[in-house]
Amino acid sequence: MKILVTGGAGFIGSHACKALKEAGHQPVVLDNLRTGHLWAVKYGPFEHGDILDTERVANVIKNYEIDAVMHFAALAYVGESITRPGTYYRTNVVGTLSLLDAMRLTGVDRIIFSSTCATFGNINHPISEVDEQKPINPYGASKLMIERVLKDYATAYGIGSVALRYFNAAGSDPDGQLGEVHEPETHLMPLALFAAAGMRDKLSVFGTDYDTPDGTCIRDYIHVCDLADAHVSALNVLEPSKFQAYNLGNGSGFSIKQVIDRVEAVVGRSVPWEPAARRPGDPPSLVANAAAAYARLGWYPKYTSLDDMIEHAWNFLTERRSRLSSQ
């Protein structure tokens, strides 16, 4: 199959392209490169463009005879969404409407959507698909709005969709070809590795007084390659006129302090850190119940160890630094 991958130059999208290629599909990347990286496009053609440009998207779909879409293109900083909600609703929601219009114009009726656990909000038990979605920040709200749009488009226009709500993506391609590079970086694991590598003075821990065993936030970390594999598996369950949604996680949570401890153990270096004020929009705990994905997608995470995620991310970071310093 020929798959249009919006946001395919980004962290998760680029890993999905590799998984698609390995599964015998042809990824075609559409990315505006505002947050993505051209060096991460390795597995198929690249088209520079924005999902808000319906005509541009439609032309790419027609030119490559696209069979289905994987939609990763979005803004995804929780804190920024609180201070710039209009930008998030415009890019994420209006951008998706534009993409769907391009699909309707070209007769493409299958899409896999990169959703998020942020659609749920504050839930203190492992989150399943039957739990109520009550997002507490504009980022999560924008993704939930898109899920509602996909449901309505399935009913009105017959577009089949699968929304994959993943928890905290982590790690890097074990082969070292891809990895996590954000500007600015806000994710815990790379920031802890930066502190261990001396690339920043210390790690800020946002909130040490949450109602958790050690006072820091708890998250369910899932390897980015496992997320990529889930997207490929979702191609097999897409059905016309049907919306489906699945949570993707490992089903176990780690606190920020636990992650810091494991980073120190894996890389053999200390991680200097300091407490900081809570960030608005951060729930105390987010852990997945992914039983539905296991049953329906036939998908299971391969890299369930936090140590594996840290090791793969550390290897990518150190190799990338070595390459940059030699240039």
**Contact present, 187 and 180 (Cβ < 8 Å):** yes
Task: Report, as residue numbers or ranges, the catalytic residues.
Answer: 139
Long-range CB contacts (within 8 A, 24+) of 131-139 = 136/281, 136/283, 137/78, 137/81, 137/82, 137/280, 137/281, 138/81, 138/82, 138/85, 138/88, 138/89, 139/75, 139/76, 139/77, 139/78, 139/81, 139/88, 139/92, 139/281
Residue 11 in tokens: 């962290």
Count of CB atoms situated within 10 Å of the CB of 251: 17
Question: What is the side-by-side order of every strand in the sheet holding 2-6?
Answer: 46-48, 26-31, 2-6, 68-71, 110-116, 160-166, 243-248
**Contact present, 223 and 171 (Cβ < 8 Å):** yes
